[in-house]
Amino acid sequence: MVLADLGKRINTAVNSALSNTQDDYATTVDVMLKTIVTALLESDVNIKLVSKLRNNLRSKLLDSKSGNKSTTNAQTKKLIQKTVFDELCDLVDCKSEHPFQPKKKKTNVIMFVGLQGSGKTTSCTKLAVYYSRRGFKVGLVCADTFRAGAFDQLKQNAIKAHIPFYGSYVDTDPVKVASEGIAKFKKEKFEVIIVDTSGRHHQEEALFQEMVEISAVVNPSQTIMVLDASIGQAAEQQSKAFKESADFGAILLTKMDGHAKGGGAISAVAATNTPIIFIGTGEHIHDLEKFSPKSFISKLLGIGDIESLLEQFQTVSNTEDTKATMENLQQGKFTLLDFKKQMQTIMKMGPLSNIAQMIPGMGNMMSQVGEEETSQKMKKMVYVLDSMTKQELESDGRIFVDQPSRLVRVAKGSGTSVFEVEMILMQQQMMARMAQSTKAAQGGGGGMPRIPGMPNMPGMPKMTPQMMQQAQQRLKQNPSLMRNMQNMLGGAGGGFPGAGGMPDMNEMMKMMQDPQMEQMAKQFGMGM
């Protein structure tokens, strides 16, 4: 069973408990627990942990209720939701007190260890890209002299990801190669140096000894063990064996995509008291997600993860650019350059499906449109904007009205059609109007109330709650209408508002935290 199914089953169990009005409270809790327990076991979660979770949940739910008999229905629902959520988080959390954070302007060495074929080399590159995107100067060292072709693999990955690398075709001593690589990158003031070591099996003592020697020489700030999630509960035994030799401080679980029974590996690993810090979700260099129990469970249950979204946005956004856009917005302006910067920020945040998963209820929608298509359209938009002159970019876009020949030139330069350029200009115009209406609203001009997921359009009539409900009902019954609307608003065929024609990110963040959003998600049958 894949994890998405697990999330759905837990959700269904909780939702039917919430709507159960026939049974008494204790029976309702027991029925719900039975379904949750079965789903967890079928997802390969460690039986001891499931049993502990069941007992904790049961006593917490029954104790809280018996201590406070006068609770309302709404309070009981909240109690069930929160308790289930907290217990699931505990299941995958091993509460590391001092998570490692590389420091800027310092040398941070990260050493990778793991079984053969677990995904070490791929994950080294993914992590290098992750830190490089966050402004670190990152280098990769290949200390795998055991497997023929290991250096070539790392080299190819590194070149593709534009990450400097070090390795040797002739030297067979991994300790020497590792120490030379570190010395080289240290001299060149690299901030994060990632060392890939050869894969080993836990019965291969000599290779384990080699790993200890490399570790002594590179003196890592952090050692990460890479584990293949598809090995399920065997993850516990593997991680224990490695822990005895290389005292790794963190785990990166790979292959959490596809049909891996990730629940098994996650819970088994959590039982070794070592935090999982990242999960690999595909073969692409961007398929790496920071693991945090709360985020993971939120996504598992389809209730989004705004915290991670904000964190990610803040890490990748350029403060100078954001400041300039904010200043423009305060003046009621939104130029083509602002539009371009916003889009680049979104693209830097990683695969759109990862971002969509963090937004309540958006994960599903993204899958309807397709990652590839959306990314392609976004890239095209950047090519169009790249083909404009500085003067054009800094304008509000109306400059093109007087110079239609420039439209043709921009389309040619970007390999797109005039129609596509016009569409982008239209989207930027929509956002510029939003900026103006926000400014007017700040000055007491009013404007229509914000509907989650839709930009403010000046001049549109106010929506009453009944109208809104009807609109939501229609969208619920007609998914293609919903898609069309998103296409219209996002322009790029994006699966969530703004994927293509990105409204102001801060506005989007506010929108996502809007209680109406939660309500709407519920009406669409999404989330808890």
Ligand X SMILES: Nc1nc2c(ncn2[C@@H]2O[C@H](COP(=O)(O)OP(=O)(O)OP(=O)(O)O)[C@@H](O)[C@H]2O)c(=O)[nH]1
Nearer to ligand X, 116 or 364 (CB): 116
The verdict on 167 binding ligand X (CB under 6 A) reads no
Give least dist CB 288 to ligand X, A: 8
Query: Which positions from 278 to 297 touch ligand X by CB under 6 A, shown as an x/- string?
Result: --xxxx---x----------
- CB-CB neighbours of 402 under 10 Å: 7
The verdict on 353 binding ligand X (CB under 6 A) reads no
Nearer to ligand X, 121 or 344 (CB): 121
Residues 288-347 that bind ligand X (CB under 6 A): none
Measured distance CA(28)–CA(6) in Å, rounded: 20
How many residues interact with ligand X (rule CB under 6 A)?
A: 21
CA distances from 22 to 57, 73, 96, 212 (A): 21, 13, 43, 61
The verdict on 199 binding ligand X (CB under 6 A) reads yes
Calculate the dihedral angle through the C-alpha atoms of 444, 446, 450, 455, rounding to the nearest 10 degrees. Answer: -100
Question: What letter would DSSP give residue 257?
Answer: S
Nearer to ligand X, 23 or 152 (CB): 152
Give least dist CB 252 to ligand X, A: 9
Nearer to ligand X, 196 or 507 (CB): 196
Give least dist CB 286 to ligand X, A: 11
β-strands 192-197, 222-228 pairing: unpaired
Q: Show Cβ contacts of residue 95 under 8 Å, excluding neighbours closer than 6 positions.
A: none
Give least dist CB 211 to ligand X, A: 12
Which residue, 310, 249, 309, 242, is CA-closest to 100?
249
Q: Show Cβ contacts of residue 24 under 8 Å, excluding neighbours closer than 6 positions.
A: none
- Torsion 192-198-203-205 (CA) sign: negative
Give least dist CB 116 to ligand X, A: 4
Nearer to ligand X, 46 or 118 (CB): 118
Give least dist CB 122 to ligand X, A: 3
Query: Which positions from 101 to 140 touch ligand X by CB under 6 A, shown as an x/- string?
Result: -------------x-xxxxxxx------------------
Give least dist CB 167 to ligand X, A: 13
| Contact stretch for ligand X (CB under 6 A) within 19-27, 143-151, 269-277, 342-350 | 143-151
- The amino acid at 91: L
Give least dist CB 353 to ligand X, A: 14
Measured distance CA(235)–CA(272) in Å, rounded: 10
The verdict on 144 binding ligand X (CB under 6 A) reads yes
Give least dist CB 355 to ligand X, A: 18
Residue from 82, 106, 147, 259 that binds ligand X (CB under 6 A)? Answer: 147
The verdict on 150 binding ligand X (CB under 6 A) reads yes
Residues 364-403 that bind ligand X (CB under 6 A): none
Give least dist CB 282 to ligand X, A: 5
The verdict on 56 binding ligand X (CB under 6 A) reads no
- Whose CB is nearest to ligand X? 199
Nearer to ligand X, 322 or 357 (CB): 357
Nearer to ligand X, 118 or 428 (CB): 118
Q: Provide Rg for the chain, Cα atoms.
A: 26
Residues 262-281 that bind ligand X (CB under 6 A): 280-281
Give the rounded distance of the alpha carbon of 25 from its chain centre: 37
Residues 402-431 that bind ligand X (CB under 6 A): none
Which residue, 268, 236, 234, 269, is CA-closest to 252?
269
Are the beta carbons of 254 and 118 closer than 8 angstroms?
yes
The verdict on 223 binding ligand X (CB under 6 A) reads no
Measured distance CA(302)–CA(505) in Å, rounded: 22
Measured distance CA(271)–CA(234) in Å, rounded: 12
Measured distance CA(72)–CA(83) in Å, rounded: 16
DSSP 74-143: HHHHHHHHHHHHHHHHHHH----SS---PPTTS-EEEEEEE-TTSSHHHHHHHHHHHHHHTT--EEEEEE
Give least dist CB 409 to ligand X, A: 42
Q: Show Cβ contacts of residue 507 under 8 Å, excluding neighbours closer than 6 positions.
A: 434, 438
Give least dist CB 242 to ligand X, A: 13
| Burial environment of residue 404 by CB neighbours within 10 A (0 to 12, 13 to 18, 19 or more) | exposed
Residues 230-259 that bind ligand X (CB under 6 A): 254-255, 257-258
**Residue 313: CA count within 13 A, CB half-sphere:** 21
Give least dist CB 203 to ligand X, A: 15
- Helices (H), ranges, 271-370: 293-300, 306-316, 319-330, 336-348, 352-358, 362-369
Nearer to ligand X, 351 or 490 (CB): 351
Edge-to-edge order in the sheet of strand 222-228: 165-166, 138-143, 192-197, 108-114, 222-228, 250-254, 276-280, 288-290
Nearer to ligand X, 114 or 264 (CB): 114
Nearer to ligand X, 283 or 307 (CB): 283
Q: What is the binding site for ligand X (CB under 6 A)?
A: 114, 116-122, 144, 147, 150, 199, 254-255, 257-258, 280-283, 287
